[in-house]
Amino acid sequence: MIPPLKLWTAAIVLLANSNILSVKVNAESQSESSSESSSEAVQAVSEVVSEVVPETAAESHPAIIGVSPEDQDLYKPATGLNGQKIWRCLSDPSIVLSYDQINDDYCDCPDGSDEPGTNACPYNPERKFYCRNEGHIPGHIENYKLNDGVCDYDICCDGSDEYITGKCENKCPQIHQQFEEYKKSVNKDIEKSLQIKQQLIEEAQAKRKSSEDTLNELKETLAKKKAELERLKKEFEENKDVLEGEVAESVFDELSPHIEELSSSVRSYEKKLETQESKILHLEKILNGLVQHYNPNFNDAAVKDSVSKFQEYISNKEVEVGEELSETHKVLEVLAKKSKSISCTPYDRPDVIEPQTIKSLLQQRFTFYAQLILANFLQKPADARESSALFEEKKPAKSATEYNEEIESLEKEIKSIESEISIYEEDLAKDYGAKDILRAVASKRVNGKIGEYSYSLGFTDSISQDGVLIGSFVEFKDNKLIYKHGAKCWNGPSRSADVELICGPQNKLLTVSEPEKCEYLFELITPIVCENFTEEEILANFKIDYNRL
Ligand code: MAN
């Protein structure tokens, strides 16, 4: 349901309220000084009836007081069995009345339809007394207000609600004049407010458009960045071997000045080993002779112990070290040759190379790198192998580090674009009201001191009371801004607020109340809810200036 539109008419409201009381007092004093006769009442009824009922209706049946011309037909009499005029209750046609029971000041129908012109029936909001208000706008007044001595000019400017007391003269011409002036000023205000609203709508549309454009640009950039990332990853993958070779190459470049030295050190180490091995072989031969020719019957414990230990030594003897070293040495020799052919850097001898260091380096690290380099080297075509530009031939545009850095930075960029996109998408999907109007005032704040507190209200942001958070904007619903999740109230809930929007040309905080502890209700004047008013809406907001009657 669309909520009723409110209009910023505080000045007129105040003026009107201050005068209601004096009119009532006047009406009461008049009632004391005049006595009613039934003939006067009948006279009054007939006057009202003749005003209410158009001539055509009057021809068919007597006009019924309190009933509008369009509903008079509902009160057409029917003819009963013995020819008398009868009538049926409107909501319950099974109840048949004699026609003169209508408006006889006695309630016969449960819906009160037999007493449209009296207050005999209980109040029924569906059934009200019709005032013709000629020269102004017809009105419908509650039946219990009839003939109570009070002129209800706001509904019956013609005074017909007091048709029996006759206390209220017809004020329709003056009241209508006031209404016309009010309508003019309202329409002027509305026109101005609507112009401002139109500008806001245009701003809102422009903001939406700009957000949509930015979003599209971001999406395009994202697609490009993703494609670029794909391409880079693919290129990296395709060049993986070369790039790994490059890693090996850089290791090789560092090692190559030392390889020849390493190679000759290994060679001399191997020679030393060979000498030691031939000495050991000689000793083994001697001991072997002892094992073959000693006399086991001769009980010499030292000989027996030596023979058994030598036999144990022979059965556990290892031969691998020599093989490993000679394998390493082969690799190094190839590398040494290669380093001479491709290295342009001057040969740089290391200062000291300890035999033990060489051995551990050879066994733990160099063998690995050397084999890697060699494997790479042997995979190249023969002519390329001979070329000094061996590693340059398929060299990719970037190094592995550069690839990794670029991929990492692209991935970061993509993540940040994606999060920006989701912020824009979320914002564009938000309900900012018809034509996105709230978008135009989203960043605006309205400040005002009301009572003891200073308030600051951001349309789509938050409300604060002396810096204390009343709530953050949650939604725009039924012409209301809803704020929730404010600062917790002492011994109570988190603060929250509903902001009722009232049409007016400028943003302005009008009132604040606290219907429940820490649940606030604000009234905010703003053009964003302005609409063209119908005459009924203007009339509903119209208040009579009784001073001018
Ligand atoms: C402060 C204000 C009031 C609120 C009380 C609750 O004084 O925020 O509006 O009612 O706290 O303790």
Tell whether ligand 1 has an atom less than 6 A from the beta carbon of residue 107. no
42's tokens: 């009948």
63's tokens: 């006009």
Tell whether ligand 1 has an atom less than 6 A from the beta carbon of residue 465. yes
Predicted confidence at residue 259, as pLDDT, reads 75
Biggest CA-to-CA distance, the chain? 171
404's tokens: 């990794």
Predicted confidence at residue 311, as pLDDT, reads 85
pTM as predicted: 0.57
State in Å: Cα 454 to ligand 1 middle.
13
Residue found under tokens 């003026």: 15
Give the count of alpha carbons within 13 A of 375, CB side only: 12
Backbone φ and ψ for 469, nearest 5 degrees, come out as -70, 120
Predicted confidence at residue 18, as pLDDT, reads 25
Predicted confidence at residue 308, as pLDDT, reads 86
Predicted confidence at residue 4, as pLDDT, reads 41
Predicted confidence at residue 310, as pLDDT, reads 87
Cα distance between residue 119 and residue 105, in whole Å: 7
State in Å: Cα 459 to ligand 1 middle.
22
Residues in Cβ contact with 3 at an 8 Å cutoff, skipping those fewer than 6 apart: 478, 479
Beta bridge partners of 455: 448, 465
Tell whether ligand 1 has an atom less than 6 A from the beta carbon of residue 490. yes
State in Å: Cα 489 to ligand 1 middle.
7
Tell whether ligand 1 has an atom less than 6 A from the beta carbon of residue 470. no
Cβ atoms of 534 and 137 within 8 Å: the answer is no
Question: In ligand 1, which atom is closest to the CA atom of 466?
Answer: 8
Predicted confidence at residue 267, as pLDDT, reads 82
Predicted confidence at residue 328, as pLDDT, reads 62
Tell whether ligand 1 has an atom less than 6 A from the beta carbon of residue 282. no
Beta strand 519-526 with 496-503 is parallel
Predicted confidence at residue 268, as pLDDT, reads 87
Closest CA to 530 of 499, 548, 512, 503: 503
**What 3-state DSSP class applies to 7?**
strand
State in Å: Cα 278 to ligand 1 middle.
102
State in Å: Cα 518 to ligand 1 middle.
6
Predicted confidence at residue 14, as pLDDT, reads 23
Cβ atoms of 280 and 433 within 8 Å: the answer is no
Backbone φ and ψ for 67, nearest 5 degrees, come out as -110, 135
Predicted confidence at residue 273, as pLDDT, reads 86
Instruction: Give, using CA atoms, the residue closest to atom 3 of ligand 1.
Output: 518
Helices 400-429 & 240-293, crossing angle to 10 degrees?
130
Backbone φ and ψ for 78, nearest 5 degrees, come out as -110, 170
**What 3-state DSSP class applies to 72?**
helix
Cβ atoms of 310 and 290 within 8 Å: the answer is yes
Question: In ligand 1, which atom is closest to the CA atom of 465?
Answer: 8
pLDDT in tens, the chain (549 residues): 333 445 544 322 222 222 222 222 222 333 333 333 333 433 443 344 434 333 333 346 788 999 999 999 999 999 998 899 999 999 999 999 999 999 999 999 999 999 999 999 999 999 999 999 999 999 999 999 999 999 999 999 999 999 999 999 999 999 999 999 999 999 999 999 999 999 999 999 999 999 999 999 999 999 999 999 999 999 999 988 887 776 666 666 777 777 778 778 878 888 898 899 899 889 988 888 888 888 888 888 888 888 888 888 888 876 545 555 566 667 667 766 665 554 433 333 344 344 444 445 445 545 555 555 555 555 544 444 444 444 445 577 888 899 999 999 999 999 999 999 999 999 999 999 999 999 999 999 999 999 999 999 999 999 999 999 999 999 999 889 999 999 999 988 999 999 999 999 999 999 999 999 999 999 999 999 999 999 999 999 999 999 998
Question: In ligand 1, which atom is closest to the CA atom of 490?
Answer: 12
Predicted confidence at residue 486, as pLDDT, reads 98
Cα distance between residue 501 and residue 174, in whole Å: 32
Predicted confidence at residue 385, as pLDDT, reads 46
Predicted confidence at residue 6, as pLDDT, reads 54
Cα distance between residue 543 and residue 549, in whole Å: 12
